[in-house]
Structure 1
Amino acid sequence: MHSPLFIRADASREIGTGHVMRCLALAQAWQEKGGQVHVRGRMPGELRARLVGEGVEFIEVEEEGGTSADAQATAACAQEIGASWIVVDGYHFGAANQQNLREAGHRVLFVDDYGHADRYEADLVLNQNIDAEDGLYADRAEHTDLLLRPKFALLRKEFWPWRVPRREIRAEAEHILVTLGGADPDNVTTETVKALGTVEASGVRATVVIGGSNPHENAIQVAAESAHVPIDVRQNVDDMAELMADSDVAVSAGGSTCWELAFMGIPNVIVVLAENQKGIARGLGDAGAAINLGWHEEIRASEIESAVGSLLRNERKRRRMAGEAQALVDGWGTERAVSAMAGELFLRPAQEQDCELLWEWANDPVVRERSYNSDPIPLKEHENWFSGKLKDPSSKIYIAEERGKPVGEVRFDVKEEAAVVSVVVDSEYRGKGYGTELIRQGTRHFLSENSDAYRVDAFIKETNKPSVRAFEKAGYMHQEDLVRNGDASYRFAFSKSELDET
Structure 2
Amino acid sequence: MGLGHIHRSLALAEMLRDDFECHFVIHTPLPGLRELILKSCASIIDLGDLSQEEELKYLLDLFRPEDVIVLDGYAFKTEYQQRLKNKGHVLVCIDDLQSYHFVADVVINPAGGVDLFRYSGEAYTKFLCGPTYALLKPPYLEAARKRGARTGKPSLLICMGGADPDNHTLATLKENVGQGFDTVYVIIGEAYVHKKELYESVNAFQQKIEVLNNLDPRAMAAIMKECAVAICSASGVAYEYASVGGELYIKQTATNQTLLYRYLIDAGLAFPVGEFRADEARVKAADQQQSRVFDGHSGSRILKVFNRLDFGLNAALRKATGDDLLKVFEWANDPELRRQSFSTQAVSLENHTKWFTGKLADPATELYIVEYKHLPVAQVRFDVKLEATIISYSIDARYRGRGWGQPVLQLALDAFQKTHRGTKNIVGYVKMNNIGSTKVFQNLGFAQRETNDYPESYKFELNAS
Q: CA deviation at 1:335?
A: 2.4
CA deviation string 1:41-65 (max 9, x = no partner):
0333211111113343011123556
Residue 104 of structure 1: aligned partner: 87
Letter in 1 for 2:179: E
The structural deviation recorded for 1:101 is: 1.4
Question: What are the within-5 Å matches in structure 2 for residues 124-203 of structure 1?
Answer: 124-137=106-119, 139-165=120-146, 167-170=147-150, 174-197=154-177, 199-201=178-180, 203=181
Q: Deviations over 1:117-173 (max 9, x none)?
A: x21111100000012121221x211221111111000111222322433x1233666
Tell me the alpha carbon deviations over residues 396-419 of structure 1, each in whole angstroms, 9 at most, x when there is no partner. Answer: xxxxxxxxxxxxxxxxxxxxx999
Letter in 1 for 2:55: D
Q: Say whether the 8 Å CA contact 1:125–1:145 is kept in structure 2.
A: yes
Contact 1:38-1:57 at 8 Å conserved across structures: yes
- Range with bigger deviation, 335-344 or 103-112: 335-344
Distance 1:263 1:466, change over 3 A: same
User: 1:227: Cα distance to partner?
Assistant: 2.5
CA distance in 2, matches of 1:432, 1:280: 49
Aligned to 1:466: 429
d(CA) in 2 for partners of 1:122 and 1:465?
33
| Alignment of 1:321 onto 2:294 | no
Q: Give how far 1:184 is off.
A: 0.6
How many residues are aligned here?
344
Cα separation, partners in 2 of 1:142 and 1:97, compared to 1, 3 Å: same
* C-alpha contact (below 8 Å) 2:90/2:309 kept by paired residues: no
Report the equivalent of 1:256.
236
Which residue in 2 is equivalent to 1:39?
24
CA change 1:125–1:441 in 2 (3 A) is farther
Query: Which one of 53, 57, 72 corresponds to residue 43 of structure 2?
Result: 57
Distance 1:269 1:436, change over 3 A: farther
Q: Secondary structure at the match of 1:25?
A: helix
**Cα displacement (A) at 1:440:** 7.1
Q: Deviations over 1:305-351 (max 9, x none)?
A: xx44x25xx54433221111222221222321221122189xxxxxx
Alpha-carbon distance in structure 1 between the residues aligned to 2:428 and 2:289: 43
% of aligned pairs identical? Answer: 23
Correspondences of 1:103-502 after superposition (within 5 Å): 103-116=86-99, 118-137=100-119, 139-165=120-146, 167-170=147-150, 174-197=154-177, 199-201=178-180, 203-238=181-216, 239-293=219-273, 303=274, 307-308=275-276, 310-311=277-278, 314-343=279-308, 444=400, 466-467=429-430
Unpaired runs of 5+ in structure 1? 1-9, 294-302, 346-416, 424-430, 447-463, 475-486, 492-502
Cα distance, 1:223 vs structure 2: 2.0
Q: 1:232 to 1:421 in 2, by over 3 A?
A: farther
- C-alpha contact 1:75 1:106 (8 A) present in aligned 2: no
Q: Distance in 2 between matches of 1:232 and 1:433?
A: 66
**Contact 1:63-1:69 within 8 A present in 2 as well:** no
Question: Which amino acid in structure 2 is aligned with residue 20 of structure 1?
Answer: I
Q: Secondary structure at the match of 1:126?
A: strand
Name the aligned partner's letter for residue 215 of structure 1: V
State how far apart, in whole Å, the 1-side matches of 2:298 and 2:399 are.
22
2:296 match: secondary structure? coil
> Partners of 1:328 and 1:145 in 2: how far apart?
21
Asked if 1 retains the 8 angstrom alpha-carbon contact of 2:24 and 2:41, the reply is: no
Matched residue of 2:107: which SS?
strand
SS at match of 2:150: coil
- 8 Å contact 1:133–1:148 — kept in the other structure? no
Q: Structure 1 pair 488/289, CA: closer, same or farther in 2 (3 Å)? A: closer
Counterpart position of 1:457: none
Q: Per-residue deviation at 1:436?
A: 5.2
Q: Are residues 1:24 and 2:10 paired?
A: yes
Instruction: Give 2:87's aligned amino acid.
Output: A
TM norm structure 1: 0.61
Paired with 1:432 and 1:255, the residues of 2 have a C-alpha distance of: 52
The aligned residue for residue 362 of structure 1 is: none
Contact 2:243–2:296 under 8 Å retained in 1: yes
1:244–1:264: 8 Å Cα contact kept in structure 2? yes
- 2: CA distance, partners of 1:170 / 1:83: 47
Whichever residue aligns with residue 24 of structure 1, its letter is L
Alpha-carbon distance in structure 2 between the residues aligned to 1:322 and 1:110: 31
Indicate if the aligned counterparts of 2:38 and 2:44 stay in contact, CA closer than 8 A. yes
Asked whether the equivalents of residues 196 and 227 of structure 1 are also in contact (C-alpha less than 8 Å), the reply is no
Flag the 1:318–1:121 CA change in 2: closer, same or farther, 3 A.
same
Q: Secondary structure at the match of 2:63?
A: helix
1:74 counterpart letter in structure 2? L
Aligned to 1:353: none
Q: Match of 2:56?
A: 71
Task: Tell me, in whole angstroms, the C-alpha distance in 2 between the residues paired with 1:155 and 1:284.
Answer: 16
> Equivalents in 2 of 1:242, 1:434: separation in Å?
50
Q: 1:108 to 1:205 in 2, by over 3 A?
A: same
Q: Which residue of 1 aligns with 2:376?
A: none
Closer/same/farther in 2, CA of residues 489 and 78 from structure 1, 3 Å limit? same
Q: Please say if residues 109 and 129 of structure 2, whose CA atoms lie closer than 8 Å, have aligned partners that are also in contact.
A: yes
Give the distance between the partners of 2:231 and 2:61, measured in 1 at CA.
42
Structure 2 portions without partners, runs of 5+: 311-334, 342-387, 403-426, 438-451, 457-465
Q: Is the 8 A contact 2:109 2:130 kept in 1?
A: yes
Q: Which has the larger radius of gyration?
A: 2
CA distance 1:124–1:445, change in 2 (3 Å): closer
In structure 1, what residue type is equivalent to 2:259? G
| 1:187, distance to aligned residue in structure 2 (A) | 0.9
Do the aligned partners of residues 145 and 200 (structure 1) sit closer, same or farther apart at CA in structure 2, a change above 3 Å counting?
closer
RMSD over aligned CA atoms reads 3.6
